[in-house]
A and B are shown apart, each in its own frame.
Chain A
Amino acid sequence: MRKTRLKRSLSLTLAVPLLALSLTACGGNNDSGTSSNSGTTNSTNSTNANSGNSNESTAPKQVTLSFLSAWNGGGAGFPQDQENNPVAQAVREKTGVTLKLESITTSEVEKLNTIFASDTVPDIVNAPYWSTTGGEGQVIKKAAMEGQLLDLTPYLDKYPNVKKLMTQGVAKDFAEFDLNSPDLEGKQYVIPMQTPDGTPESIHNWNYGLYARGDILKALGVNAADIDTEDKLLELLAKIKNGDFKDISGKPVIPSGTMHNGWDYSQFLSGWSDYNISDFRQEDGKLIHWTQSKDQEARLLYMRKLITDGLFDPEAFSNTDTTAKEKLATGKLAVFGAQSMIGDLQKTLYKTNPEMQYELLGPMKNKSGNIVTQVEKPGRSGFPVIFLSAKIKDPDAALRLIDYLNSDEGRLLAYWGIAGKTYNMVDGKPQWVADVKKQFDENPDVKRDEGLNYLSGSFMGAFSSEVTWPIPEDQKTQWEKLEASYSKRLPIQIIDKVSATYLVRDWPKYQEFRDETSSLNFDEEFRKACYAKSDDEALKILHGIQDKFKAAGVEEMAAYVAEKAAARDDIGF
């Protein structure tokens, strides 16, 4: 009897902890999954940090909110100490909000689909919102209509700075058809970010172009400004290939390439671009959808020539963010197409090998003979947006934070840091403390860790720091001067028209067309064609995807848009 009891006790002693262990293990997995993402679990940390002190009654309620930057590489501006950097501490003091930051290094649309489908939307999300008819914008709109996003409409009157963000710097047609799409039934779910303050000067210039290593251009005796057509570019790349140039480790350079996943190979094809604000093009007196343009053949064959002649990095379309930056930092790419990438280069290549500093080619000319440049409407059409989870426990805390950051005081804090420590007010304008500025200029990571990059990059709208606080020439760093010199050469073109793309939404077969084309990926087919065995096969792939769009009714759609556009005088293509 005693033995049996002993056995039973032993068995239970073993079994119960094992069972408990396995259950807690399951629970642990579950928790880690939700706690990093779920609004429900993250927004519950509501203890009053100031309890006990004299300001208890006026101190803001302490709340921890999860924040996702749904941008590939969006965490680059996050400080090392997320919660206790000086700016975060000041924000907590003012608003009571502590942010738990998360970012991604993969596809934005993939991440958005995942958080919505798994019901793990963080409290606050910043994500791309270029249009509601495709990509990320379409995903966000679906989520809004299906209850995953918080309707902000009832809160707006309480937060005037947030309310201002909803309209200022937003293009009229985009506001009407995308931001406040009729499908959303008058509810507002997203807050525009990185919008201009309403003046043309405040529209951000992204400086997209082709950049070539300065020492290589010098060795070849080529003037960067002279390379302004596709033919001249081809000639330059061939010279680079035959020039036996090396990277910083003595290995052969790649004549040209891009950043991650082929971003932005279209810079190599800018000769076929035009000043477009819609999905439609006027060719041979007829309106066509961009997929049907005859330029597509020429673009494809040019890209193929770059690849088959060994003038373009064959790995460009499969580069990760890390491998692409590694190529950049080692001077491996003789020419690259993207933005100027000064933020990365000033910390790496420009420090170790200043002679290799990249120079802006051209600027390139497009098929109309005009400089290839950034085309904008008076307000911005498509921008990053902030949305809140429908399950956020304390929406007021999130809106309090956004409202504060977009106040005069909040903007000063986000861009300039702590008064007296990092900046001083001189004649009503902030100026960096000299020693601090020196540190920031020498090592941009110091500025990042001070907390001066992440809030201004993700939470600001309807504002331009450059316009409000222009940096005097004598206080600019060489990199700021360099960036400004690119901007001068790449002027922004403003077209004050309504985009023809919006006319298509009344087309009776529009939904049918979208269903038919939802699984078609023109860019993926184009890239595939770039690597086809022969030009004929490549053209076959191109025509194949064009035919699929045709079968879905793209020509009928363009005809409908042409008819609608003819009846108005404010439509731009």
Chain B
Amino acid sequence: MIAKEARTEVLPEVLPVTKNKTWSKVWSFRHIYLFMLPAFIWYLVFCYYPMYGVLIAFKDFKYNLGILGSPWEGFRYFEQFLSDSSFYSVLYNTLSISFLKLLFGFPAPLILALMLNGVMHGKLKRIFQTISYLPHFVSWVVVVTLMQKILSPNVGLVNDIRDHMGMEPIFFMGMPSLFYPLVIISDIWKGVGWGSIIYLAALTNIDPHLYEAAEMDGAGRWSKLFKITLPCLTPTIGILLIFSLSGVLNAGFDQIWLMQTPATLSVSEILDTYVLKTGIQQGQFAYSTAIGLFKSAISLLLIVLVNKVSKKVSDVSLW
């Protein structure tokens, strides 16, 4: 009754005399929209407005003329990049690191979530969860510095142990053959706990009656996993896989940049580090923007393709 009264009280006042129903609705919820305004402005200012900067990729950038005023150069920098002798090795390294991260890093949060879900004791589960989340909040600078200290050939703990065992020290961070394993292990260590949150949330949505019914039919732990849990998680896995594939050219700038040494340069130069070197260090802003734009365009293409394939094959899609 009160609600009805309120409605009759509000409607005549808030609805302006207009035929546009959308704007009427917006106006009626204007206070809620006001809350959204800061976020909208933030996106506009920091995410969309700077996007005009990609124009540099097609221009001969001059400080005094600015981005809009600088003369056009067409696709010169894209052609220069594609004919650059570093192109193939940089692309190969980027794809190698990304796919290896996907191969080993993508299932890790799922496995952790399933394992945590299997821990019945609530308190123990929370402790494990908290411990596994913590590395996510540690910056790559700290993580890599720790790795350097632990693995240092001069003062590192691991080499100290080797020394005590009469073995020669190893420059772990400077061995190309160890670079990918170190990248992947540290990436998993840092992200696995955080990545498992979505799966844990999805697991709580599975109807417990399904498990009860399966138990009554004599299903064991593995049967329940393969027949109930994983099929129920398929849409979540699918969506996350699409997201991951779209970022396949993002091999992880912070991590790689910090871990890179001259000794590992042949396997560690990726698109993002190459962009920084050519752009900020060599001052070739247009060239490096072209590389960045090339990367973004391929990523967009990938997300559209993967989404389409996924929709056709499994009915899981982003749109």
Contacts from A to B (Cβ < 8 Å):
1, 3-4, 7-8, 11-12, 14-15, 18-19, 21-23, 26, 107, 109-110, 113-114, 116-117, 119, 138-139, 142-143, 146-148, 251-252, 254, 262, 310, 313-315, 317-318, 327, 332, 518-519, 524, 527-528, 530-533, 548
Contact = CB atoms under 8 A, between A and B. Distances in A.
B38 A116 contact: no
Given A15-B34, A18-B35, A139-B283, A254 B154 contact: yes
Nearest to B85: A548
A528 B262 contact: yes
A148 B84 contact: no
Nearest to A10: B31
Contacts of B65: 146
Contact of B63 (A4, A143, A254, A518): A143
B41 A528 contact: no
A143 B63 CA distance: 7
Given A26-B45, A109-B281, A117 B63 contact: yes
Interface in B164-195: 168-169, 171, 173-174, 176
Contacts of A7: 31
Given A315-B148, A317-B261, 15 more contacts: A7-B31, A18-B38, A113-B279, A113-B280, A139-B283, A143-B63, A146-B63, A147-B63, A310-B169, A314-B153, A315-B153, A315-B261, A519-B282, A519-B284, A531-B263
15 contacts: A14-B35, A18-B35, A19-B34, A22-B41, A110-B280, A114-B280, A116-B63, A142-B283, A143-B63, A252-B163, A315-B153, A527-B265, A528-B263, A533-B176, A548-B85
B20 interface: no
A23 B34 contact: no
Interface stretch (B6-14, B109-117, B202-210, B221-229): B6-14
Interface string B25-49: 0000001001101110110011000
A109 B283 contact: yes
Contacts of B155: 251, 332
B79 to A, nearest CB: 13
Most chain B CB within a 10 A radius of its CB, from A23, A139, A528, A531:
A531
Majority secondary structure of chain B interface residues (helix, strand, loop or mixed): helix
B317 interface: no
Contacts of A147: 63-64
Nearest to A529: B262
Top 3 nearest A-B pairs (CB, nearest first) are A531-B263, A22-B38, A147-B64
B89 to A, nearest CB: 11
Contacts of B163: 252
A23 B41 CA distance: 9
B152 interface: yes
A339 to B, nearest CB: 22
A530 B31 contact: no
Give chain B's interface residue range (CB within 8 Å of chain A): 35 or more
A113 B283 contact: yes
A452 to B, nearest CB: 34
Contacts of A318: 173-174, 261-262
B35 A110 contact: no
B62 A146 contact: yes
A110 B277 CA distance: 9
B287 to A, nearest CB: 7
A15 B64 contact: no
Contacts of B264: 531
B96 interface: no
Given A313-B154, A528-B262, A531-B174, A113 B35 contact: no
Nearest to A7: B31
B32 to A, nearest CB: 8
Contacts of A11: 31, 34
B266 interface: yes
Contact of A518 (B10, B153, B282): B282
A143 B61 CA distance: 11
B37 A19 contact: yes
B263 A314 contact: yes
Contacts of A107: 281
A252 B162 CA distance: 13
Contacts of A327: 154
A531 B171 CA distance: 11
Contacts of B263: 314, 317, 528, 530-531
A15 B31 contact: yes
A570 to B, nearest CB: 33
Given A117-B63, A314-B153, A22 B42 contact: yes
Given A22-B38, A113-B283, A314-B153, A530 B262 contact: yes
Contacts of A1: 9
A315 B154 contact: yes
A67 to B, nearest CB: 21
B285 interface: yes
Contacts of A26: 41-42, 45-46
Nearest to A330: B155
Most chain A CB within a 10 A radius of its CB, from B174, B266, B278, B282:
B282
Nearest to A544: B85
A107 B169 CA distance: 31
A519 to B, nearest CB: 6
Contacts of A143: 63
Contacts of B173: 315, 318
Interface string B134-171: 00000000000000100011110000000100001101
A314 B170 CA distance: 10
A448 to B, nearest CB: 28
Contacts of B261: 315, 317-318, 531
A254 B152 CA distance: 12
Contacts of B38: 18-19, 21-23
Contacts of B85: 548
Most chain B CB within a 10 A radius of its CB, from A142, A318, A327:
A318
A148 B65 CA distance: 11
Contacts of B6: 3-4
Nearest to A253: B154
B281 A110 contact: yes
Most chain B CB within a 10 A radius of its CB, from A114, A138, A315:
A315
A269 to B, nearest CB: 15
Contact of B284 (A12, A21, A114, A518): A518
Contact of A113 (B174, B262, B266, B281): B281
A326 to B, nearest CB: 9
Nearest to A527: B262
Contacts of B35: 14-15, 18
Contacts of A4: 6, 9-10, 13
